[in-house]
Structure 1
């Protein structure tokens, strides 16, 4: 019991610091929590000092992945904004519909759904949220909407990575993995009737939602029906193809004003329609190019994904006590044996969506959009100015995660998970999703949550005689819904939108739909 109390103290402290009345910003609260966990590992859990130092170093290096993605997303956003393309995109989107609910569903729901299916890595919020802010929606509310909306497709994000890779070490047969995906899709589809509505409430009133509820549900179903049907035979493409179909259908519904309450504004629409087609295409070309590159580089069958993940050795250096540095043909940088321990770190230079596609698209867009040298410099300067505090916060977060996972079966995170299971027994299916959410809250990834807790969930299912595919589906759903309160995601979207020191405020509000999501998943699991 004492181990459990000690394990949860840092979690409770972090939540308190970030949600109290005079909340501490994440770049202060997270390093403090990481320091506390380090002290507990050293003086209570008796961890070896060298191993502790290695994990701190690896955790700090791990921040390079999310911060590079954030930097790429901000740079692209500033490029589109400063070039004037954002204004053209806003005017074009208004020709589809000036109804705010329609705009939020098309961009915040269907478009983000498709991007999640192609890439994951937090790119849906990075791409969709700035577009919504450009349409005139307030940044803080858009951040919360983006976090909550980007939950349903996550179990099949990045071409199914949380499912096929997240559960890849559990010894599941292909049939069992497929059934797990089918169950996940059903639970997500049930939650989708409620969750997007709650997300919309962050930005618009209940009256606006009620007057446009038919459109909202049709837009939801246009994504989730193909999503669920595709999951019956494949766990890679449900979110990608479901989102693409849903976006097309949502645009058609909005153009036809099906389910929307707004009357035509002919004068305004005629003014918008005078935009030349070439001007519109040029403005949206960077976004289209981004989507195209994401899809091409994430679909296994095209072969480019394998090239970008080629681990064949190219260079190897012995850095002494620091570790063994290796660089692969795909420029995967790996540091193994850090401080003579089994701790390692890796960065997939070409696969992490920082250089490809973000920086690549920016470099192509500069001449395409006719940007001057002064404007280009401004875009880079503004990007750099936004990264300092998020970098500190992410270093703190990832060191904390590394230290919480130290100790294998006896680590603080595992101790907490097992305590949940012991407490609930055969009723575990009603709580399983929350363990998945806890994993995503800390790690910033549904895939890492599945990797971390998949084995525990499988073991609990066998111990209390519950179907393992159902419990693993709940774990997958939990990892997805945990995106709403995930520290890394909150820092990322806040940074991209220029929001400062509101992480605790965001968590307090997004935790409500996350808790409801878990209830819907638990009730839905009884159908399985």
Structure 2
């Protein structure tokens, strides 16, 4: 009982520190929690100080992966903004539809759905969220919408990585993996009837959602129907293909206004309405100024925006960075093109011993690896060419600089703004990843395994009703649905066998849980907040995104009794 208490208490304290009134920012709360877990490992579990130190080193180095992706996304975002492309894209989208619900579904749902299918790694929020902010939506609300929306496609994100790689250590054959994918897709398909409206509610009213619900439903199904059908025979492409089809259908339907209300409040009104005090971002003077504008003024503004038409050439040029990004992601992620194997080639070309620190090696694909850290089995690796930092983010930026004829001072501004934004998030991510490494230290007796096994013993055959939440817990810790599946897949499989539950159903719940855990994943929250310039709101975001996550888990539990 003591082991269970000490395994769980650091996470309880972390959540309390970040979500209490005037909660601590993540760059303080996470390092404090990591220190707490380290102390418990040392003084209670008796873990060797060398092993603890090795995991701390690995945790610090592991932060390079997410922070490099965030830096690349911010750099691209600043380039799109400073080049004027963001303004052109905004005007084009307003030309398709000025209806906010349509804009949110096209970018926040369908577009992000497709990007998740191609890349994962938090890329959807990094690309979609700034576009929505550029349209005039509140950054904090956009962050929450992006986190909640980016859940349904995640199990098949990055060309199915959470499924085929996440369960790779369980000894499953291809047919079993496909069965897991089928069940996973069905649960996500049903949950998708609920999740987009809940995400939209962060920004628009229930009345607006109700009036535009036919469009929401069409946009949702245009992604999830092909997604579900493709999952019946493939577990790599459902999200990518579903998102692409959904994006095309959503744009066409929005262009014709099908399912959309004729009248819609302006973005400014919706962003500022009602809960400005809660967000602490708009004062009463701003609200009064917004609300007191005459009908004539608002009409004039609307006509002015509508008159700002953009040519096809302007749209294509403004969209070129995004198009390049998508093309590069698809070409480098789909193994049939042959480039993925080149970018992930682990064949060693250089090695060097750093003595007691560990063994350094470099592969043909520039994979940097540090093995046997401090003489332990702990290791770290960074896939330089495959992590979406240099390719595609930096590559696209370097191509775009001459394309948009950006001057030296603008380029310098892009890089300086990027550097200034990632300082505090880097500290937070270091704390998060050290905490994760230490929580997983100890094999079957690690704090994370102790907690998971205790909960399964408590639930017995009722485990299927809460199984998805273990997957979500894994994503909350690790920042990845794939890592959640790798970490907890074995526990879920063992539980299924021990209590006599269908293995494919329980592993599907794990996969769904890892996906829905994206909503509260600390890494993702820090990443999207950093990209949008939001400071010290992690606890605020978690308190609100946890609600749709809980609802998602209830849907998964109900579906587990049917499939």
**Match of residue 151 from structure 1:** 151
In structure 2, C-alpha distance between the alignment counterparts of 1:335 and 1:413, rounded to whole Å: 25
How far apart are 1:272 and its partner, in Å?
A: 3.6
**Match of residue 364 from structure 1:** 399
Q: Is the 8 A contact 1:442 1:487 kept in 2?
A: yes
1:344 to 344, 360, 379: 379
How far apart are 1:270 and its partner, in Å?
A: 5.5
In structure 2, C-alpha distance between the alignment counterparts of 1:34 and 1:440, rounded to whole Å: 17
How far apart are 1:262 and its partner, in Å?
A: 2.3
In structure 2, C-alpha distance between the alignment counterparts of 1:204 and 1:377, rounded to whole Å: 37
**Match of residue 258 from structure 1:** 258
TM superposition outliers: structure 1 runs of 4+ over 4 Å: 263-270
How far apart are 1:130 and its partner, in Å?
A: 0.2
* Matched residue SS, 1:169: helix
Q: Is the 8 A contact 2:91 2:305 kept in 1?
A: no
**Match of residue 292 from structure 2:** none
In structure 1, C-alpha distance between the alignment counterparts of 2:37 and 2:216, rounded to whole Å: 44
How far apart are 1:269 and its partner, in Å?
A: 7.2
In structure 1, C-alpha distance between the alignment counterparts of 2:500 and 2:247, rounded to whole Å: 41
In structure 2, C-alpha distance between the alignment counterparts of 1:174 and 1:61, rounded to whole Å: 34
Deviations 1:342-391 (A, max 9, x none): 10000000000000000000000111112111111101010000011000
Deviations 1:227-280 (A, max 9, x none): 00000000000000000000000001100101000259995676243x221111
**Match of residue 48 from structure 2:** 48
In structure 2, C-alpha distance between the alignment counterparts of 1:369 and 1:521, rounded to whole Å: 47
Q: How does 1:310-329 map to 2 (within 5 A)?
A: 310-329=345-364
How far apart are 1:53 and its partner, in Å?
A: 0.3
**Match of residue 414 from structure 1:** 449
**Match of residue 186 from structure 1:** 186
**Match of residue 111 from structure 1:** 111
In structure 1, C-alpha distance between the alignment counterparts of 2:481 and 2:163, rounded to whole Å: 9
In structure 1, C-alpha distance between the alignment counterparts of 2:161 and 2:213, rounded to whole Å: 32
Please tell me whether residue 390 in structure 1 is matched to residue 459 in structure 2.
Answer: no
In structure 1, C-alpha distance between the alignment counterparts of 2:64 and 2:96, rounded to whole Å: 39
Q: Is the 8 A contact 1:147 1:484 kept in 2?
A: yes
* Matched residue SS, 2:169: coil
In structure 2, C-alpha distance between the alignment counterparts of 1:262 and 1:339, rounded to whole Å: 66
* Matched residue SS, 2:168: coil
**Match of residue 277 from structure 2:** none
Q: Is the 8 A contact 1:417 1:435 kept in 2?
A: yes
Please tell me whether residue 271 in structure 1 is matched to residue 307 in structure 2.
Answer: yes
Deviations 1:278-317 (A, max 9, x none): 1111111000100010000000111101100000111101
**Match of residue 292 from structure 1:** 327
**Match of residue 222 from structure 2:** 222
**Match of residue 283 from structure 1:** 318
Q: Is the 8 A contact 1:94 1:272 kept in 2?
A: no
- Unmatched 5+ residue regions in structure 1? none
Deviations 1:392-449 (A, max 9, x none): 0000000000000000001000011011101110011001000000000000000000
Q: Is the 8 A contact 1:170 1:454 kept in 2?
A: yes
In structure 2, C-alpha distance between the alignment counterparts of 1:372 and 1:174, rounded to whole Å: 52
**Match of residue 452 from structure 1:** 487
In structure 2, C-alpha distance between the alignment counterparts of 1:243 and 1:161, rounded to whole Å: 16
* Matched residue SS, 2:170: coil
In structure 2, C-alpha distance between the alignment counterparts of 1:5 and 1:267, rounded to whole Å: 62
**Match of residue 484 from structure 1:** 519
* Matched residue SS, 1:334: strand
In structure 1, C-alpha distance between the alignment counterparts of 2:365 and 2:246, rounded to whole Å: 34
**Match of residue 301 from structure 1:** 336
Please tell me whether residue 28 in structure 1 is matched to residue 28 in structure 2.
Answer: yes
Q: Is the 8 A contact 1:71 1:383 kept in 2?
A: yes
In structure 2, C-alpha distance between the alignment counterparts of 1:481 and 1:314, rounded to whole Å: 40
Deviations 1:437-493 (A, max 9, x none): 000000000000000000000000001111100000000000000000000000000
How far apart are 1:527 and its partner, in Å?
A: 1.2
Q: Root-mean-square deviation (CA), in Å?
A: 1.0
Q: Is the 8 A contact 2:475 2:517 kept in 1?
A: yes
Q: How many residues align?
A: 527
Q: Is the 8 A contact 1:65 1:347 kept in 2?
A: yes
Q: Is the 8 A contact 1:283 1:369 kept in 2?
A: no
**Match of residue 437 from structure 1:** 472
In structure 1, C-alpha distance between the alignment counterparts of 2:21 and 2:195, rounded to whole Å: 27
Normalization by structure 1: what TM-score?
0.99
In structure 1, C-alpha distance between the alignment counterparts of 2:122 and 2:453, rounded to whole Å: 29
In structure 2, C-alpha distance between the alignment counterparts of 1:127 and 1:107, rounded to whole Å: 9
* Matched residue SS, 1:314: strand
Q: How does 1:124-135 map to 2 (within 5 A)?
A: 124-135=124-135
How far apart are 1:137 and its partner, in Å?
A: 0.2
In structure 2, C-alpha distance between the alignment counterparts of 1:182 and 1:49, rounded to whole Å: 45
* Matched residue SS, 2:219: helix
